Amino acid sequence: MSIRILSAHVANKIAAGEVVERPSSAMKELAENAIDAGATRIDVEAVAGGRKLIAVSDNGSGMNRDDALLSLERQATSKIQDVDDIERIATLGFRGEALPSIASVSRFRMVTCASADGAGTELSVSGGTIQDVRDTGAPQGTLVEVRDLFFNVPARRKFLRAFQTELSHIRMAFMALALSHPDVTLSLKSDGRPIWQLPGGTLADRLRDLFGAELMNGLKPVEFSLGPTVTGYAGIPSVARADRTEQFFFVNGRAAHAPVTAFALKEAYRGLLPSDRHAPVFLFLKMNPELVDVNVHPAKREVRFRQPGPVRDAIIQGIRQALGHPVALGIQPDEKALPERSGPFDTPMERSRPIQRRLTIENLPASRSFPYPAAAWARLSSDPAPGSGPAADSEAAKAAHEPETRRDDAEPKSPWAWCRVVGQIGGLYVVLETEDGYVVMDPHAAHERVQFERFMDAFLKGKVQTQGLLMPETVELPPRDALRVRQNIGLLREMGFGLSEFGGDAFVVDALPTCFSGASVKGLLVEVAGHLEQAGARGGKGRWREEAIAQAACKASVKARDRLSMEEIERLVVDLAGAEMPYTCPHGRPTLIYTSFKDLNRKFARE
């Protein structure tokens, strides 16, 4: 069989199969061209899920007649000029394949006008063949209509899904575009019906418009720089869901992903969420374009980092830092706009109304409401020794008579403005009434979180505890694990391992971190070596330190069937309110389940 060059018509169809998978792909490529053209407004319209029509119009710079014709040629682009430009791409598009690929598999119409021209240009293309070129009146910008996508490629058209399925893909692509450029005004219509009308603004405004105020209330701002800069929002554990549809990553303004970002996200929430739950995240990674390879995937969905380590660490630390401060449960009112009250709500009907203001320590009633007045707070919030139970010890009792020792800055940022202990049910769960709902607390999980943060604080202060083995143990490791352990032997010693080389791939271990006393020495070293390789030295150290402390906290916590006294419950509530992450235990199980009075009223048909 002889070798021959494919015609441009066939080559464009092949390229279209890589660039244009479905109507949402065409919409994405056209909208990205509009962004690159400096558009401040983009309007998208779909008919029959985009199978009959995808139209994208913008107010960007537009094109003159010559550029409009040239844009339909493969590898015709204004984004790059030289091979070196590929190493520092700062635009969303750059290959010059989108327009010719889309035009080759659809009935294509483009109307464009540059600011300097008196008239616009209209092009009509059918299946890659230009049908008509003429002058026309048009405002500055570009309108592209893509009709009957894949009409001349039946094999591809039959793989398109139902209209609603294709529309859902268009909505997701539109959402990614809206999040990546919140300053651009955007609209989406389907079959003549408006779906979104999004004015330009801040990222917070855009998130509120797309997902609602309730989700926005459960997001924490992320801002961290470690070479790469990570900004955006990360969800607290209580707003996690069963799928990843609310997880978005953007690299230099481009919606994209990489294996290292998925791993970093999993690491950031490790210990905060169960493995089958996923927190919403909207993260923007900004870095030197020369350190990012965007020319990896035909549809530009995936990127590759030249130095993935700093990217991984920046994401992990950025999210962890953001989640280090608790947020209030439920939507908080504007305190300045509401009248003051002299006390808490007195009747059930009154409790269902919006909260009037936050109650402070000094003006709370004394009937099992938290935070308590200063003397009781000093008694309940004094720090016990690590490993002790939730009940107040003798030092705490003594502190009850010394309220002057409590500083104003000792009051924690509680997950509630006010709460009242109702009691314990089922021999386990504690019910709390808050200012705008009620909370069911798992005492074991709550005490785990309190103990975990207490133990973690001791580790961060350099108080690492080790336990010597009765008999030193010689461990022979596989070559790869041995190399990793050898490279990080100093780090392992900092983590509490008494470790020295014995020759070859063998090591002598004479001490372990106290939290792992009695564990298999070889198993520990093999696992920690694997984690060090996967997460890097910084991530590996953090992971093993946290896992050790989580195990110790679990062993030191109250058990599931322990009947707690009211004072023990009070102490636990106060301690949990002062925790940095009060919503989950170190293993990701929830400590609190919140229900608002609004939801309760709805269930009783009171709304």
What element of type H or E holds 393? none
Half-sphere exposure of 247 (CA within 13 A, CB side): 16
For residue 42, name the pLDDT band (cuts at 50, 70, 90): very high
pLDDT > 70? residue 548: no
pLDDT above 90 as % of the chain: 26
- Contacts of 526-530 with CB under 8 Å at 24 or more apart are 526/477, 526/478, 526/481, 528/485, 528/492, 528/495, 529/477, 529/480, 529/481, 529/482, 529/484, 529/485, 530/481, 530/484
Residues contacting residue 368 through CB under 8 Å, at least 6 positions apart: 420, 421, 566, 570
SS3 318: helix
pLDDT at 421: 87
How would DSSP label each residue in 91-145?
Answer: SS--SS-HHHHHHHTSEEEEEEE-TT-SSEEEEEEETTEEEEEEEE---SEEEEE
pLDDT > 50? residue 287: yes
pLDDT at 240: 86
The whole-number average pLDDT for the span 502-511 is: 88
pLDDT in tens, 166-204: 999 999 999 999 999 999 999 999 999 999 999 999 999
pLDDT > 90? residue 48: yes
pLDDT at 553: 53
pLDDT > 80? residue 505: yes
The residue that leads in pLDDT, 77 or 175, is: 175
Half-sphere exposure of 368 (CA within 13 A, CB side): 15
The whole-number average pLDDT for the span 518-539 is: 62
* Domains delineated in the chain: 8-201 (3.30.565.10), 205-322 (3.30.230.10), 347-442+558-603 (3.30.1540.20), 457-556 (3.30.1370.100)
For residues 551 and 438, the answer to whether their CB atoms sit within 8 Å is: no
The whole-number average pLDDT for the span 539-568 is: 59
* Least confident range of 30-44, 267-281, 381-395: 381-395
* Least confident range of 23-27, 139-143, 241-245, 537-541: 537-541
